[in-house]
Amino acid sequence: MKCPKCNKEIGHVDIESDYGSSSVGYLKGNKIVEYEMVEGAVGDEFSEIISIECPECSKDISDSVEK
Ligand SMILES: [Zn+2]
């Protein structure tokens, strides 16, 4: 998908969740199809996603991405 803010083609997003953990979400279209924990992993599922950011411009684009 193209980032709605900076208009660059992105294949993954940076995800912050409530335990302070971050992960990478890989995209197919605008849908996240796979998650990869980067740091602070707590179990294999996060309870709540706080923000989904474009890796290019770091803007929160959670409204444009399907979780
Ligand atoms: Zn962007």
pTM for this structure? Answer: 0.83
CA 49 to ligand 1 center in whole angstroms: 18
pLDDT along the chain (67 residues), means of 10: 97 88 92 84 66 97 93
Q: Could you identify the residue written with the tokens 């992993």? A: 41
What pLDDT score does 39 carry?
66
Helix extents (H) in 1-67: none
Half-sphere exposure (Cβ direction) of 52: Cα atoms closer than 13 Å: 24
CA 45 to ligand 1 center in whole angstroms: 25
What pLDDT score does 37 carry?
80
Strand pairing category for 31-39 and 12-17: unpaired
Q: Which residues, chain by chain, have CB under 5 Å from ion ligand 1? A: 3, 5-6, 54, 56-57
